[in-house]
């Protein structure tokens, strides 16, 4: 049976996922349509995705997860989320992960090692996870920053620590940098054990994440340095491939790491 896939969002990640699916990168999965932003009187619509797709992939942002996610799950569809930061919201998390009958899947996205952390959280205890993320200063400019702060950040000649704290501090100050910390909290099954350090580094050639998870079943030290997406310097080129890998597993798990 073919797994029918619809996408919400066709930016850097969504357009690459569409290309990969059309090229047959996920045998057993087929692209049914892409929900455009705004006017849906022509072309594919969210209602069409609801009717025709087996799984809907969100590649559009936190607001789209809030808008479409609960409706998909309530209708019994499966949802694959890229904007994992949306699950920082406890009520949305419940709607997506617990209410059913649809299922919510989370892409491994820009990270590695979530499988080991999930297994350790289920079979043991996790005492602490730290994640140090480094990005170019321009990728970390925020609307709340005043002119001087922005200018200082953009002209910095050395690395600057911008934040040290848990998911709630990160979400308030750097909402677009919450995917990785949310993914780690979800893998751990605990939002209190994750501590993030966010660094603006003018020398950063790639966005990098250094994760250290201390658990009763082992210590995992994971370093990931991602090439930027050609379509969006703030996004990682790996993410569409992680999405397609997930779809391939959903469609035909034989030979997959699960």
Ligand X SMILES: NC(=O)c1ccc[n+]([C@@H]2O[C@H](COP(=O)([O-])OP(=O)(O)OC[C@H]3O[C@@H](n4cnc5c(N)ncnc54)[C@H](O)[C@@H]3O)[C@@H](O)[C@H]2O)c1
Judged by CB, which is closer to ligand X: 37, or 205?
Answer: 37
What is the rounded distance in angstroms from the CA atom of residue 178 to the CA atom of residue 170?
7
CA 159, distance to chain mean position in Å, is 25
Question: Nearest distance from residue 87's CB to ligand X, in Å?
Answer: 11
N- to C-terminal Cα separation, the chain: 20
Q: Is 158 a catalytic residue?
A: no
What is the rounded distance in angstroms from the CA atom of residue 184 to the CA atom of residue 118?
9
What is the rounded distance in angstroms from the CA atom of residue 141 to the CA atom of residue 38?
27
User: Do the annotations mark residue 110 as ligand-binding?
Assistant: yes
User: Do the annotations mark residue 190 as ligand-binding?
Assistant: no
Judged by CB, which is closer to ligand X: 6, or 199?
Answer: 6
What is the rounded distance in angstroms from the CA atom of residue 67 to the CA atom of residue 75?
14
Question: Nearest distance from residue 183's CB to ligand X, in Å?
Answer: 6
Question: Nearest distance from residue 254's CB to ligand X, in Å?
Answer: 26
Which residues of the chain form contacts with ligand X (CB under 6 A)? 8-14, 35-37, 59-61, 64, 67, 82-84, 107, 109-110, 179, 229, 231-232, 235-236, 239
- Name 60's Cβ contacts closer than 8 Å, sequence gap at least 6: 8, 9, 11, 14, 37, 83
Judged by CB, which is closer to ligand X: 200, or 243?
Answer: 243
Residue with the shortest CB distance to ligand X: 11
Residue ranges for the known binding site for NAD(+) are: 110, 179
Q: Detail the residues annotated as belonging to a binding site.
A: 110, 179
**Residues assigned a catalytic role:** 209
């Amino acid at each position: 049976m073919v797994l029918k896939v619809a996408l919400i969002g066709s930016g850097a990640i969504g357009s690459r996922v569409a290309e990969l699916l059309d090229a047959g990168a996920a045998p057993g999965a087929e692209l049914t349509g892409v929900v455009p932003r705004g006017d849906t009187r022509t072309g594919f619509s969210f209602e069409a995705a609801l009717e025709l797709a087996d799984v809907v992939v969100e590649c559009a942002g936190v607001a789209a997860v809030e808008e479409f996610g609960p409706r998909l799950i309530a209708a019994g569809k499966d949802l694959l989320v890229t904007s994992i930061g949306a699950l920082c919201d406890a009520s949305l998390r419940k709607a997506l992960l617990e209410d059913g009958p649809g299922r919510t899947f989370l892409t491994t996205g820009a990270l590695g090692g979530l499988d080991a952390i999930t297994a350790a959280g289920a079979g043991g205890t996790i005492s602490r996870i730290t994640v140090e993320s480094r990005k170019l200063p321009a990728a970390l400019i925020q609307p709340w920053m005043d002119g001087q702060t922005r200018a200082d950040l953009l002209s910095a000649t050395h690395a600057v620590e911008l934040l040290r704290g848990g998911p709630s501090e990160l979400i308030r100050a750097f909402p677009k940098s919450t995917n990785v910390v949310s993914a780690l909290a979800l893998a751990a099954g605990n939002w209190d054990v994750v501590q993030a350090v966010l660094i603006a580094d003018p020398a950063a050639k790639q966005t990098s994440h250094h994760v250290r998870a201390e658990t009763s079943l082992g210590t995992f030290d994971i370093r990931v340095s991602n090439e930027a997406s050609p379509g969006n310097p703030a996004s990682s080129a790996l993410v569409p491939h992680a999405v397609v890998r997930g779809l391939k597993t959903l469609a035909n798990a034989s030979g997959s790491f699960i």
